[in-house]
Structure 1
Amino acid sequence: MKRINTLGAGCLARALAFSLAAGGLALPLSAQAADLPAAVAQDLYENGGVEHWLPKAEKGDIFAQYVLGHMYCNGKKVEKNYELGMRWYRKAADAGFAPSQLAVGTMYFQGQGVERDRDEALDWFTRAAEEGYARAQSNLAALYLGEKGVEPDYEKALHWYGKAAAQGHTVARYNLGMMYAHGLGLDEPDYVAAYGLLSPLVENGHRAADELMQSFLGEMDEEELVAARELSEELQAQDRMLVALDQRAANR
């Protein structure tokens, strides 16, 4: 049975859980360090300001360069200075440090310390995503949904949400489920895949995932519900997520 999207544009708009703040300019530094090794993060918390990080940064320490970028962009123990922040972020970004690449992209997107340049921003987001950085993958996917004036490309959005979700990124998994529920980037909505992606979130108390799933459960027959529950079990293994979704697409 050919399905059409019956969930509505308003539901889609509410489903988008994207913020450029997640790129690195508005979150506390503790949140910025969440993806970094615990020993490095602990060093970050225990040590102080510019006098600690500047000598390391000048010697080419990529993480120290990243920290200085954050400090200057956020006014942490130093006067806020976007130009200096961009300078230090860029040094680490040029060396391939994904959190800095995401931060540089965010600054280009927002016009902080540099002239606003959407194409340059997308290039830096893509570099960070290709480094395997889940936060960058999720943000890039959201932009390809048509956020912030970027031309929609649903296939790319599916791709990058899938990459991030496979690393356990909750927002990406939710938005990937939303895309399957709406049929974005697909020939038609796939409620079985949407259920498989959303049900673990629902079990963990994710209210938006529950609301989204309730919106299409009534459209599913018993055979689909059985398949959805089986797929949900298979998708629990994150290292199998993309393979399982690809197999389902190939067999439809």
Structure 2
Amino acid sequence: MVRGIEAAAKGMITLSDKLDSVTNNLANISTPGFKRIIQNVSESENYPVNRVFLQSDGGRAPFMGYLGNGSEISTQAVDLSAGGLEHTSSKFDVAITLNNNAFFQVQTPNGIRYTRDGNFTLNNNDELVTQDGYPVLSSANAPITIDGQNVVISSDGSIQVDGQQTDTLGIVSLDNPSLIVPQGSNLYNYNGQVVNASNFKVLQGYLESSNVNTVREMVDMIALERAYESGQKAIVTEDNETGQMLSQFRI
């Protein structure tokens, strides 16, 4: 009985964690370049059981088999499918197309991080930065300075200012979604090998939209909430049966 309660409780914790992920996806529907998080749930290891249970009539019933130990998050990955394109006309807005594994590089206090959010601007030092003020890095892993009025960002990421090429956006490829780790602020860390991206196209004056599908996430949320309620009912049932068994126990 206790094992059943433990398994149900562990399953509810797993469902709660997955519900948090779905909620976070929904909260970022309007975040440029946001990629939804996918979590897969699997059953934990089963334990062999060889016990004797008391029956309501006082008899004893042997039980041999396996009892589950609840569920757990087995894998987590970033969904790299492309979002839509939004035309903004801003000369500092850029979107990466054709290559879903390609990311911009930005410098943060915790090291280089990666993003698909090309909603950039200039700081007081004329450096190209994210909305949180993190410098966008060039192909040479250096901050990009834009000192001029006429700014053209070509499809290969090269930057021309007043007719002169000054820099190139540092765009890299993160090829394994399971190694991409969300860091907050629409940034990601990568636990694999980072390589220069190829076969991509940069569009100036556009932003990539979030790839979150509202209907899909809402359906998942409802299913998770119902499964969580089922876990609660299972715990109550197990608790009641345990109480009945103890009340009938005779030494």
Q: TM-score category by the smaller chain?
A: under 0.3
Q: What TM-score does the superposition give when structure 2 sets the normalisation length?
A: 0.21
Greater helix share, structure number:
1
**RCO higher in structure (CA 8 A, sep ≥6):** 2
Greater strand share, structure number:
2
Q: What TM-score does the superposition give when structure 1 sets the normalisation length?
A: 0.21
